Amino acid sequence: MNEEDQKNKLSIEVERSYQLISKKWICLIIHTLMESPKRFSEIHEFIPDLSKRMLNERLKEMEEWGLVIRNVIADRPVRTEYSLTRKGTELGKSLKSIEAWGEKWVGRS
């Protein structure tokens, strides 16, 4: 692969990364799941402005991208929990620096 092809591949990967994290609610869902696995209702409780329909859609997308695992727990009643994969956890760690930046700078003049 020549240098030009490497640059194009890198820019495509960077663009896809930004497209992923710029989708509304993705970062907040990851933030919610960083501490521990959560049930659908717990995620919804943490992000009340997020509709259940949109939460379901985002979780499915995140499963497809390999960021989230859906775990069915065969208790009575059956429960479903969502947890981050290694890939999702690494993204969550990366987002921590953005959170720190936001705490420091957002809201300041």
Range of the domain at 86: 3-91
Q: What pLDDT sits at residue 107?
A: 78
Q: Which two tokens stand for residue 61?
A: 């997308």
Classify residue 104: in a domain, yes or no: no
Classify residue 30: in a domain, yes or no: yes
**Structure confidence at residue 109 as a pLDDT band (50, 70, 90):** low
Classify residue 22: in a domain, yes or no: yes
Classify residue 18: in a domain, yes or no: yes
Classify residue 33: in a domain, yes or no: yes
Query: CATH number, domain at 13?
Result: 1.10.10.10
Q: What is the pLDDT of residues 67-93, one digit of tens each?
A: 999 999 998 889 999 999 999 999 999
Q: Which two tokens stand for residue 43?
A: 């995620």
Least Cα distance to 34 among 75, 98, 95 occurs for 95
- Pairwise CA distance, residues 82 & 34, whole Å: 11
The whole-model pTM stands at 0.86
- Give the number of domains in the chain: 1
Residues 6+ apart with CB under 8 A from 58: 23, 25, 26, 29, 50
Higher pLDDT, 22 or 10: 22
- Pairwise CA distance, residues 26 & 55, whole Å: 9
Classify residue 96: in a domain, yes or no: no
